[in-house]
Structure 1
């Protein structure tokens, strides 16, 4: 039976949350479902297929255009936020939930009843946290840092108490359950569903022609930021003392400093910064190894994508979902959380790579049609107000 599904995301820029949202939208549409994507903020670098309807509505701007909204915004910025640091989402999400309720009602009046609402990412939760509906499942891809005190518990209660929560890996779920339990917060329902990948599309895009280095290379694809810890990657690469070059695909605030580090180490001819690419898959396919050096990694969609391209992965054993993604023989290349450990696994991965072809389930568990069905099978009945599963 075909469904009408609404996906909600904060933005559609190039990033893991956004790519996964587009992947899910595309497979739903491809399988004949009616799909709508609501974008709450900016970003248009990514776009789903033509069969998906995209709505861009900034509830903050909509509210501020009203006289009450302008006064409310000034009041919260001037008085409430200084008294309660980090509380801005409380006030935005209060009216944001009201506007989301109106949006859903308007869409249903035009198209008919919506069967599922799937919201992905903390930024989206905060923008519309006050809306409650049994059709809504919010997909959490990380846990919110340290346990914190009573104020943090107050904030988390707004986001999770009585809600229906999907986590994208068992490790993320375990961490979030522990943190919410510390504050006595009880989501209504839990589920664990991995991120979807369009396996055939990734492999097709990996065949597109690009200009590759003349020498064999290993690759890293990520935003250049503190949490991705590319300085470790560079140091480990140099320590590994391998013949292959290193290609870094991505951009971000750390790029200038990283390029300076490479220059200081005299490695400019071996380490290549090529910037952000909408299609990184040709570099994944032609690399001998994919390397991830993150401080934490809720899922690591690039690990799944690299394996789909046929390239084995090395990753640091950081908090998050790496151990849920790199399983079976691939788990052998999870490195100790040190530069030395990462360098050692780079050498091992090149000398003795795991055979991805011998383990089809390593990749098949990410197949988008399988993940899509898991989302469609989620229950959408029962009150969503508080308490544990009924």
Structure 2
């Protein structure tokens, strides 16, 4: 018999937006009276975990020894099904998150499985080096088995266009405004003074290079603080040095709790080439922090008005917007919409089954 149990499956709980969204959504289900279990394939945890949820590590690593990918995923899916049946019970619904987990869970025999699509699939397809038609066929095979829940309308449109799927629906990422406000008060990064902020991993998607070049074209009256880590960190540090900005750009690394930095920023800037939802934008709105962003696919234009957006990759336009925001930051404050609260988002998921 199906119980009031929700299972969320993800590769690990490292410091990314999808991982944070999974934990927040879990709390939404808990607040609606569900028993919530989070299964991860790797042991990595970089977030503080709520004791309201249950956590499981089912190790994927030994299964890498199986050379055939598809057979490997089938075998591991059988392992996951057995684990859930034995240790958790029959869930009300199972939510699969991110590529590797999706490739496993498409072979699951359990009912009410949904894939949560956190990013634009076309961007992933564009990076594939092998046969594009074969890759598209494979992705269509992955995502046609179970319904797909997209975290923004832009992601849904992209998924439909890329794969021609019809089993899709948009449900936004949840934003725990109460928790974010509490965490925002935990510490005060007063040593930074007034500053503008970027939060995000150092990877091509976030286009730190565009941000740095745009910032260099402003009067730099406020320092630029970069919060995050990633493989392109040194490359961006080198760019900062080459432009003579070492005393203006501050690298503060990854923080488990970024909210005091977001709360105390005069302006937060996103320079991304693409997003799925733009989670950090919604979180900044909770804290009444002004936000400007590239009008990238997808998410920012579903959260921010046109006044807060600039074209993707346009260094001069971003520089002008940063100047304007530093001069009049209150012009870029946008109210937070309570439709994003975790219980409201979780209720939409429950409606899918009910």
Q: Aligned runs of 1:1-390 on 2, under 5 Å?
A: 3-61=4-62, 63=63, 70=65, 73-74=66-67, 76=68, 88=69, 90-108=70-88, 112-145=89-122, 146=125, 149-181=132-164, 186=165, 189-326=167-304, 330-337=305-312, 338-353=314-329, 360=335, 362-379=336-353
In the alignment, the residues of structure 2 paired with residue 118 and residue 302 of structure 1 have an alpha-carbon distance, to the nearest angstrom, of: 22
SS at the partner of 2:156?
Answer: helix
In the alignment, the residues of structure 2 paired with residue 177 and residue 28 of structure 1 have an alpha-carbon distance, to the nearest angstrom, of: 28
In the alignment, the residues of structure 2 paired with residue 33 and residue 143 of structure 1 have an alpha-carbon distance, to the nearest angstrom, of: 30
Q: How far has the Cα of 1:214 moved from its partner?
A: 4.6
CA RMSD of the aligned region, Å?
2.1
SS at the partner of 1:365?
Answer: helix
Deviates more, 1:33-42 or 1:168-177: 33-42
Q: How far has the Cα of 1:170 moved from its partner?
A: 0.3
Q: How far has the Cα of 1:242 moved from its partner?
A: 3.6
Q: How far has the Cα of 1:163 moved from its partner?
A: 1.5
In the alignment, the residues of structure 1 paired with residue 326 and residue 238 of structure 2 have an alpha-carbon distance, to the nearest angstrom, of: 27
Q: How far has the Cα of 1:46 moved from its partner?
A: 1.9
**1:251/1:46 Cα in 2 relative to 1: closer, same or farther (>3 Å)?**
same
Q: Deviations over 1:229-270 (max 9, x none)?
A: 111111111112241111111111111121122122221121
**1:163/1:214 Cα in 2 relative to 1: closer, same or farther (>3 Å)?**
closer
Q: Deviations over 1:26-82 (max 9, x none)?
A: 232244321111111231112431121101002452x46xxxxx5xx24x3xxxxxx
Contact 1:240-1:343 within 8 A present in 2 as well: yes
Q: Deviations over 1:73-98 (max 9, x none)?
A: 24x3xxxxxxxxxxx3x233222222
Q: How far has the Cα of 1:166 moved from its partner?
A: 0.1
Contact 2:48-2:256 within 8 A present in 1 as well: no
SS at the partner of 1:118?
Answer: strand
- Name the larger-Rg structure: 1
In the alignment, the residues of structure 2 paired with residue 128 and residue 176 of structure 1 have an alpha-carbon distance, to the nearest angstrom, of: 18
In the alignment, the residues of structure 2 paired with residue 22 and residue 195 of structure 1 have an alpha-carbon distance, to the nearest angstrom, of: 11
Q: Deviations over 1:316-373 (max 9, x none)?
A: 12222221122xxx4311112211111111122233445677x64x432221111111
Contact 2:211-2:271 within 8 A present in 1 as well: yes
Deviates more, 1:218-227 or 1:118-127: 118-127
**1:214/1:179 Cα in 2 relative to 1: closer, same or farther (>3 Å)?**
closer
Q: Show structure 1 runs of 5+ residues with no match.
A: 65-69, 77-87, 381-390
Q: How far has the Cα of 1:132 moved from its partner?
A: 4.4
Q: How far has the Cα of 1:126 moved from its partner?
A: 1.9
